[in-house]
Structure 1
Amino acid sequence: MWTKYHRERKIGRLVLPAMTVAFLSYFGYHAIHGDYGLRATEKFERQRIVRLKELALLKSKREQLERQVSLLSDGSLDKDMLDEKARFQLNFSRPDEIVIYNSAKIN
């Protein structure tokens, strides 16, 4: 029964601030350490930079392979390129030749 002389409890004054602190702490922690927080964003950015470098490397390798394929196409068959590929695939060389394999060129 409530009366005119209701005595306020000191703990009642702390409920709302305690809930506010808990709420802000929970969401603040996840804003920094969560799956989409600041640290995860930094990690994703580092991965993005690494992958962009890999993409540039793969693009250059692809362009190099496209140039080699264009040399072997029917319209402009380069006899030297055909000879080089055939010798490499068949592991063939003449006795008077010196063969030096370039590891970057071996597919």
Structure 2
Amino acid sequence: MRRKSSLSVEDIWPEYRERIEALEDIARFIVQSNPNVRRVLLFGSMARGTAGRRSDADVAIILKEDHRRPPDRIPEFLRYFIEAPMPVDVLVYT
């Protein structure tokens, strides 16, 4: 009978932790520099630990208030991720 591997994504892909830490740094900066930001959340394969080397990061930014349409909010926050070590999809909600 085949046994399930106990290897984590970090065992297979050592740079995973560095990418998570880079995203955490960016999230901290966003929260500290914008008082309208309630939370920054990572979701998807990066959050689950199932991402591969070519995976992007899925980030949701929750605002206290904003009267713009959700797609119109994205450029303001996408710029923070330009230097991220992977592609990032940003969604912005209230």
- TM-score above 0.5: no
Name which structure has the greater RCO, CA cutoff 8 Å, separation 6+: 2
The TM-score, its normalising length taken from structure 1, stands at 0.25
The TM-score, its normalising length taken from structure 2, stands at 0.28
Determine which structure has more spread, i.e. the larger CA radius of gyration: 1
Indicate the structure with greater strand content: 2
